[in-house]
């Protein structure tokens, strides 16, 4: 009974059997009542005929009438001068008929429940009474035929259940087969829409899942290709300088330069690996956060001082003259600001501005005077590797992880980050942090 088909068949068979028994429970009393009503009506009708015949016919004819009625299960009682010709008839019936009353009742006759119909005859205290036993075993006869209906109900239930189960299980089997193919790596699988609305919804869900997996895996492949290229570049540089040093190609005067280049490439490789690790932990939702009250004015001021010392950009801050306190993780917010600063340092020409600003309530802006974004860029700015693929070979680009990492970090902190056009002509990133403590 683990399969849907067997359970549907069981339910339909049980429903058929229950329906048959309920029908029998209702039909038996109705059938018994109908039979007894018919018997009573016939008895009353025959009593009227018997009175007419017995009043006019001779003795021999009377005996034939009585014999004929008895063959039909009807007993005849004659009342003469207030006395009945045979025992068994209730005294109250004898008295009523003897007084000239019509009788149509039910009662015991010789100990047997019977219908009683009596009519007076011409003469003093005379009459005729017909009795007929109440129908017995009618319920048994009705119930005796139930097994036929039960058998028919069982067969019908099995057939209907099998057809219904096939109809219901078909879209589920198709979805299961599609899921198996998806798990095996086939992303081209699709299910045709058809059948009831629920089956169509199931087909749509599976088809949407297959499409989403196809798109997601395509993006993952592109991302891995991009990351592999970014990894190869510093590794190739490191390998080249290492081989040159090992072969003695690098002279004593060039060792310092080679070491500096190798150190820069190693740091670049370390940053890329760190970004990948943080991004993977963010997507796994296990990145530890230390949420405390933070003064954004103090935090952004410190970031501005650190970036002003790096040179190459005209760094300035726009800060209110009072604290702006929110509850967040200061280390992760500083990581986001530094990531956006690294992004600006890569593309913004020397001497152009980098502005770090704090707005109320709990908003940080990072603006620059670089090449900025197009309107099309804004829609994919935080997608992994999207801008890397779009501007590779056009201008200096990074791994494509920085903006994606910033967006994931802000989202994990319950905030929101958006990209736009800066008044200085470059890019503007707005970080909105939601929660503020009570003051």
Residue whose tokens read 């009377």? 62
Helices (H) and strands (E) in the chain, counts: 12, 12
Q: Are the C-beta atoms of 212 and 180 separated by less than 8 Å?
A: no
Residues 343 and 297 in one domain: yes
Q: Are the C-beta atoms of 352 and 313 separated by less than 8 Å?
A: yes
Cβ neighbours for 234, distance < 8 A, ≥ 6 positions apart: 265, 266, 268, 269, 272
pLDDT score, position 59 = 66
Spell 401-430 as b/e; 16+ CB within 10 A means b. bbbbbbbbbbeebebebebeebebebbbbb
Pick the closest to residue 224 from 165, 159, 279, 161 (CA basis): 279
Please report whether residue 195 resides in a domain.
no
Q: How far is CA 411 from CA 83, 265, 271, 296, 417, in A?
A: 109, 31, 21, 17, 8
The CATH number for 360's domain is: 3.30.565.10
Residues 308 and 383 in one domain: yes
Q: What is the mean pLDDT of residues 394-418?
A: 79
Residues 276 and 401 in one domain: no
Residues 230 and 346 in one domain: no
Q: What is the mean pLDDT of residues 50-73?
A: 71
SS3 324: coil
The CATH number for 219's domain is: 1.10.287.130
Residues 312 and 428 in one domain: yes
Please report whether residue 192 resides in a domain.
no
Q: What is the per-residue pLDDT across 322-354, written as a single tens digit (0 to 9) for each? A: 999 999 989 889 888 988 888 888 788 888 899
Q: What angle do CA 30, 31, 32 make, to 5 degrees?
A: 95
Q: What is the mean pLDDT of residues 95-121?
A: 86
Residues 8 and 103 in one domain: yes
- Which residue, of 101, 119, 144, is where some domain finishes? 144
- Which residue, of 287, 314, 340, is where some domain finishes? 287
Q: What is the per-residue pLDDT across 280-322, written as a single tens digit (0 to 9) for each? A: 666 555 667 788 999 999 999 988 888 887 767 788 999 999 9
Dihedral through CA 408, CA 413, CA 414, CA 418, nearest 10? -50
Residues 53 and 19 in one domain: yes
Q: Are the C-beta atoms of 353 and 314 separated by less than 8 Å?
A: yes
- Which residue, of 287, 319, 345, is where some domain finishes? 287
Q: How far is CA 184 from CA 116, 181, 190, 214, in A?
A: 85, 5, 14, 13
Full residue range of the structural domain in which residue 280 is found: 202-287
Q: Are the C-beta atoms of 368 and 426 separated by less than 8 Å?
A: yes
Check: pTM over 0.85? Answer yes or no: no
Confidence band for 375, pLDDT divided at 50, 70 and 90: confident
What the block records as the tokens of 118 is 């009596």
Confidence band for 100, pLDDT divided at 50, 70 and 90: confident
Pick the closest to residue 405 from 267, 221, 220, 280 (CA basis): 280
CB-CB neighbours of 345 under 10 Å = 18
Residues 104 and 78 in one domain: yes
Residues 308 and 321 in one domain: yes
Task: Provide the domain count of the chain.
Answer: 3
Cβ neighbours for 430, distance < 8 A, ≥ 6 positions apart: 363, 364, 365, 417, 418, 420
Please report whether residue 99 resides in a domain.
yes
């Amino acid at each position: 009974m683990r399969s849907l088909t067997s359970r549907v068949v069981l339910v339909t068979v049980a429903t058929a059997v229950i329906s048959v028994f309920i029908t029998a429970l209702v039909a038996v009393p109705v059938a018994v009542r109908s039979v007894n009503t018919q018997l009573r009506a016939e008895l009353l009708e025959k009593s009227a005929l018997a009175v007419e015949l017995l009043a006019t016919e001779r003795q021999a004819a009377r005996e034939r009438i009585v014999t004929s009625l008895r063959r039909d299960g009807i007993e005849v009682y004659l009342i003469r001068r207030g006395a009945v010709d045979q025992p068994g008839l209730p005294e109250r019936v004898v008295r009523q008929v003897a007084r000239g009353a019509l009788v149509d009742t039910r009662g015991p006759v010789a100990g047997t429940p019977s219908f009683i119909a009596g009519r007076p005859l011409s003469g003093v205290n005379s009459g005729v009474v017909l009795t007929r036993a109440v129908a017995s075993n009618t319920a048994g006869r009705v119930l005796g035929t139930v097994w036929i209906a039960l058998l028919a109900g069982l067969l019908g239930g099995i057939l209907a259940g099998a057809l219904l189960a096939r109809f219901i299980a078909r879209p589920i089997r198709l979805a299961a087969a599609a899921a198996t193919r998806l798990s095996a790596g086939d992303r081209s699988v699709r299910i045709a829409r058809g059948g009831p609305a629920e089956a169509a919804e199931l087909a749509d869900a599976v088809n949407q899942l297959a499409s989403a997996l196809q798109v997601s895996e395509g993006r993952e492949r592109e991302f891995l290709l991009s990351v592999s290229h970014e990894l190869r570049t510093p590794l190739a540089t490191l390998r080249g300088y290492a081989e040159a040093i090992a072969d003695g190609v690098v002279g004593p005067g060039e060792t310092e330069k080679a070491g500096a280049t190798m150190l820069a490439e190693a740091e670049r490789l370390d940053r890329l690996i760190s970004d990948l690790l943080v991004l993977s932990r963010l997507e796994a939702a296990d990145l530890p956060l230390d949420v405390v009250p933070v003064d954004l004015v103090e935090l952004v001021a410190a970031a501005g001082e650190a970036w002003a010392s790096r040179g190459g950009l005209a760094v300035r801050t726009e800060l209110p003259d009072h604290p702006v306190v929110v509850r967040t993780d200061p280390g992760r917010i500083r990581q986001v600001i530094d990531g956006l600063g690294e992004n600006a340092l890569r593309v913004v020409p020397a001497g152009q501005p980098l502005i770090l600003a704090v707005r109320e309530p709990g908003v940080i802006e990072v603006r620059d005077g670089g090449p900025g974004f197009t309107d099309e860029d804004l829609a994919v700015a935080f997608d992994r590797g999207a801008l890397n693929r779009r501007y590779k070979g056009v201008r200096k680009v990074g791994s494509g992880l920085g903006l994606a990492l910033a967006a994931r970090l802000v989202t994990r902190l319950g905030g929101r980050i958006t990209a736009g056009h800066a008044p200085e002509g470059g890019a503007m990133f707005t970080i909105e942090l939601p929660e503020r403590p009570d003051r």
